Amino acid sequence: MRESRKSGAPSGRDQHAGGRGPLARQLALAATLLGFYALSLSAFWTDPSAYNWMHLVAGPALLALTALLFFETRGVFAESNHLSPAPAISLLVLVLSGVAATGGMEASPLAPVVFLLLALLASVQRIPHAALSALVCTGWSVAAFVRAGAPEDGLTQLLSLAVFYCFFSVGLGALIGFERARRRKLENVVRNLRSDRAELRAESVLGGGDEGEEPQKLASAIEGDLDDLARHIERSLYALVERLGKIVSARSCALYLLDSNGQLRLREAASSLELDARPRLAPGEGLIGWVLENGAPVVMNEFDGVRYRLPYYEERCDVGSFLAVPVPAPGSEEAVGGRVEHASGVLCADLPVEGAISPEHQQAFFMAATQVSEILANARTLLCVLMVKRQLGSLYVSSTTLSGSLRAEEIAGALLDSARRIADFDLGAVVTVPAGPTGAPTIRAAVGQGADKLMGAAVDLNGSRTGWVLETGQALPLSQNSGGSRALFHAKEKLPRFEWVLLLPFASESAEGVLGCLVLASRKRSRQGSFVLRLLELLSRQATAALLNARLFERMESLATTDGLTGLCNHRTFQERLDEELRRAQRTERPLSVVLTDIDHFKKFNDTYGHPVGDAVLRHLSRIYRQSIRDMDLVARYGGEEFVFVFPETRLARVKDVCERIRKNVARTKLREGELELSITISLGIACFPDHAATKSDLIECADKALYRAKETGRNRVCVWSPREHGEESAA
């Protein structure tokens, strides 16, 4: 007794009724084309000077063929799709008609085009269709041979043409088909390996870099483990499918598994025919999709003569028997009769003989499906071990990188790189709080969607979630991330809607307080486990320690390079910067000016009002100086009440204008210190490279002499050094 199918399963007749219709239409169209073909040959074989009704009919017929070809063949050759017989015959009709009209195969210059067209059609036709094209050309040559009176010397030529027709169509078609099948098989293998590897990793967690020898060794070891795991899964599943196909004498045995998009993808297959692994199946689509959706097997021992198109074949074929069983999802228990509660794939096979599937075959498939589930479960377990190893290795690399960074920008970038190796997110940002009492928290680094618009932006402390975390020093619980209208950073941000947001503060137990915040967001609901969240918390603590070290380094660097009273660069920093700028000026042959300035009668301030007032005068002038120059310029405290300016790439006339503006600004601005209102004036001396001096010491000496000249000639003025008799200077 033959078993047709399980109750409720879709049948081949239900899904593919009317399968003979397209074939009938193709045959009818081909017959019509052959009629046009015979008509055109009769017309063009007639004496061209004697036009008759056949010419009038054949011309429009060929134009109709041209229009048909345009719609039938567009995109076929570019995409290497299969071409049906009708448009192929149409092409041959056009070319052969042209050959007939220009002298036949013996004399026509278009004769080679026939062989080129056959070769081209062979690349986009199946072998039987290519043979049909060769048969059409052979029939045309036979008709020409008969019309010429069947000469004895023409028989050899006719046979030669027939052989060439077969070679250029069937022979080349077979070679191209073999090569295409071999390439497709290799592509499927490569695609499966890449897919396995991609599914085993969320992303590349440990990449290269200048992180030392040990992290690189660890990265290479883990990458090698993932590759080995992917290859092991590939070999195990293929061996199982191949062995199962031999047991049931299947024409093809295939394993479909759900991919990350929830669609069935052909994972492994053993077949005697050419397969197509590209189509994806949605749950419930066709027989295989029905098995996945319902978790029940399907057995079909007869197809009632319907040519059924299985998804792993490129075209319909004669199927005698078909068997498909669900692959249990990990943790899903198998019920009686091969049914499962949750399926993760489908194991199926087709046989050319009807009634060939026995209960023993079904039992073998049930056992094989369970074995597939166990292989995948073991692979997931090993993957978890590798991922833990990978994430711990990433944490080690992060610790090494963060501990070696002394700049906030470097720490922010390294932190996001490390976070991406541990967790999946669409947007990541690092916010830092300025060390001083002034200034707003800013986004130091950002990656992902909308990151380019966030870099350097200030964070709204009152109207954003990040501001709340910075104010409270508490991590934002995941349960608070859903709903609400609060912005992530500031009210003007234009970011996509995120389903998952995690904010971790860099909270220090010292007087520094909260140093910043790590922000991670995803458009999908989080699948991060508790282990990943703990790793991110450890990462934020490492970042806190690194930012504390960076602040300490900045303070030490500031003490070493900054004057404590005025906040300007100190004398040592001035000497180092002047060396750099002078070398650049010598290399680029651009001007460089040095200006020395001194407070007029500064000793009088100290003697009359005391040293605190003198210090206030110095701080007052330093603020004016700092506001009066460009970012590329330098102002430093030279010593005592003397200050020095360095103006790179600035001509002397421009420097004189700037110095005069500074002098007038100082004289115009009153210093109010308590009840005192003090007027201050300064004198300035200018020296320029290369006009006045070529070395640093000579440049400073010339500026000093110019300053001395300004004081000698009345103070509150700007003087430029100029070589005159006995080294005298002239007032500006």
Catalytic amino acids? 641
117 has which bridge partners?
A: none
Which alpha helices (H) appear in 108-166, and where do they start and end?
A: 111-122, 127-147, 152-166
Is the separation of the CB atoms in 124 and 77 below 8 Å?
A: yes
Q: In angstroms, what CA-CA distances link 64 with 33, 330, 501, 673?
A: 10, 60, 63, 100
For the residues of 631-672, what is the DSSP string, one character each?
TTSEEEEEETTEEEEEEET--HHHHHHHHHHHHHHHHHSPEE
Residue in 480, 476, 718 with CA at minimum distance from that of residue 593: 718
437 to 95, 121, 440, 512, 558: CA distances (angstroms): 86, 78, 9, 11, 17
Q: CA–CA distance from 70 to each of 10, 91, 133 (Å)?
A: 38, 10, 19
- Contact call for residues 676 and 628 (beta carbons, < 8 A): no
Strands 718-720 and 682-689, sheet pairing: parallel
Axis-axis angle for helices 111-122, 152-166 (nearest 10):
30
CA-angle at 725, arms to 724 and 729, nearest 5°: 45
Backbone φ, ψ for residue 515 (5° rounding): -95, -15
Residue 637, burial from CB neighbour count under 10 angstroms (0-12, 13-18, 19+): buried
Distance between CA atoms of 688 and 655, rounded to whole angstroms?
A: 9
Name the residue among 437, 471, 470, 443 with its Cα closest to residue 457: 443
Backbone φ, ψ for residue 430 (5° rounding): -120, 120
d(CA 480, CA 81): 53
Distance CA 113, CA 710 (A): 96
Backbone angles phi, psi at 75, to 5 degrees: 80, -10
Alpha helices in 248-358 (DSSP H): 286-294
User: What tokens does 77 get?
Assistant: 């050759």
Q: Which own/partner pairs from 340-343 qualify as long-range (CB within 8 Å, at least 24 positions apart)?
A: 340/295, 341/295, 342/295, 343/291, 343/292, 343/295
Which of 449, 469, 467 shows the shortest CA–CA distance to 458? 467
Output the six-digit token pair for 41: 């040959």
